[in-house]
Amino acid sequence: MRDSPLHVLSAFAGVVVVALLTGCGGQASAPAATPAVIPRSAGTLYHRIGGYDALAAMVDDFLGRMLKDPDLEPFFRELQAGEKQRVRQMLVDQLCEATGGPCVYVGKDMKTVHTGMDITEPEWNKAVGHLVATLETFRVPAPERNELLGAVAALKDQIVGQ
């Protein structure tokens, strides 16, 4: 059975929430002034969404949104700048590997990372909203967006309520 687009979006957001909340990668920076439309070309999902630089820019945008959200920022409040940078890098690496790129994710599994965080369904949903906004900002085409989200759809149960 195929997951619904909302469930897939939720799962992807969970991965991001996990990475952010678990120390997987880092400090958010401002996105490019006007993100380019992600080109569709042959190859892996990694290549079709624009490669490393596009993934990194999307992660930066998404993290920036999360850090500005008063309901989600507390998950990051105690992290030092270097720890936030690590969260950012781990998230980029995780997404790079999951989309067929050359990166290797060396972080912990999602359940281990999120145990004790008590992430709620409403927090998950807020993160999903931020993720959707990021994907819209970068104009990721629906097929690539759905494929990317599908790559992480199974993670929600490993994040929410742990």
Domain that includes residue 31, residue range: 5-159
CA distance 50 to 65: 21
Domain containing residue 92: CATH number: 1.10.490.10
Per-residue pLDDT, 59 = 94
Domains held by the chain: number? 1
Give the tokens for residue 113. Answer: 């990372």
Give the tokens for residue 28. Answer: 């958010």
Write the single-letter amino acid at 105. Answer: Y
Per-residue pLDDT, 156 = 82
What is the 3-class SS of 79-90, one letter each residue?
Answer: CCHHHHHHHHHH
Give the tokens for residue 6. Answer: 């909302």
pTM above 0.85, yes or no: no
> How do the pLDDT tens digits run along the chain, 162 residues long?
333 333 333 344 444 444 444 344 333 344 444 454 445 556 898 999 899 999 999 999 999 999 999 999 999 999 999 999 999 999 999 889 988 999 999 999 888 988 888 899 899 888 878 888 888 899 989 988 888 777 656 678 888 877
Per-residue pLDDT, 68 = 95
Closest by alpha carbon to 135, among 5, 43, 3, 1? 5
